[in-house]
Amino acid sequence: MSLPLIGILRGITPDEAVDVGEALLAAGLDRLEVPLNSPEPLESIRRLAEALGDRAAVGAGTVLTPEQVRDVHAAGGRLIVSPNCRPAVIEETRRLGMASYPGIVTPSEAFDALDAGATALKLFPAVQVGLEGMKAVRAVLPAGTALYAVGGIGVDNFAQWRAAGVDGAGLGSALYKPGLGAEEVGERARQLVEAWRAADPAS
């Protein structure tokens, strides 16, 4: 079963994308995000989508406009992650049949995102909101709303965030930093996957 974890590959280049993607897939991560402020992000997405095919859902992060959504879709992307809540971005994502993960902090943003059709909500930055703030937001969300924590979540605190009610996580610098080779990224991914499973026996 696919884990509710998104690997964030900020700064990756097209030439290393496929090797890193294969390493992440082997470690158990099958949702991969290439932020659009990476070098040649659409080319990295295209290569990952072609190489991994149906084995993984590849897409983009730091997506801010409907035009960028269309560019990612044309490159073969299947998921869109944003740092903010823009209904027009969410609606275009869903119109094109892709999964939408908009960034939210407040209940107002959360409900705007859900009204626009968000697949799941990205609590960002989670480290700023904190566990108590997250629980307050979680308490008012409709039953069944998937909430992902992004920013400051990893091996050391998965258990606390899971116990407090998050459903998934986006993994950034704990997983990948520019210059890391595929083998090291794969090892980091394995440790993160093991820690997530330990925090959530149901997975």
Average pLDDT, the chain: 96
pLDDT of 115 reads: 98
Catalytic: 33?
yes
| Residue 196 in this model has a pLDDT that exceeds 90 | yes
Which one from 16, 67, 122, 183 is the annotated catalytic residue? 122
pLDDT of 203 reads: 63
Q: Could you tell me which residues are beta bridge partners of residue 35?
A: 61
What would the mean pLDDT of 156-183 be, rounded to a whole number? Answer: 95
Q: Could you tell me which residues are beta bridge partners of residue 149?
A: 123, 169
| Residue 152 in this model has a pLDDT that exceeds 70 | yes
- Collapsed DSSP state (helix, strand, coil) of residue 32: strand
pLDDT of 200 reads: 74
Q: In sequence order, what are the residues at sequence separation of 6 or more whose Cβ sits closer than 8 angstroms to the Cβ of residue 61?
A: 8, 10, 33, 34, 35, 36, 81, 82, 83
Q: Name which of 76, 102, 77 is nearest 89 in CA terms.
A: 102
Which one from 16, 33, 92, 109 is the annotated catalytic residue? 33
Q: In sequence order, what are the residues at sequence separation of 6 or more whose Cβ sits closer than 8 angstroms to the Cβ of residue 162?
A: 196, 199, 200
Number of Cβ within a 10 Å radius of residue 152: 18
pLDDT of 155 reads: 93
**CA 193, 79, 47, 9: dihedral to nearest 10 degrees?**
-50
Contact indicator for 107, 140 with CB cutoff of 8 Å? yes
Contact indicator for 172, 202 with CB cutoff of 8 Å? no
Catalytic: 135?
no
pTM: 0.95
Residue 132's H or E segment, with its range, is: helix 126-140
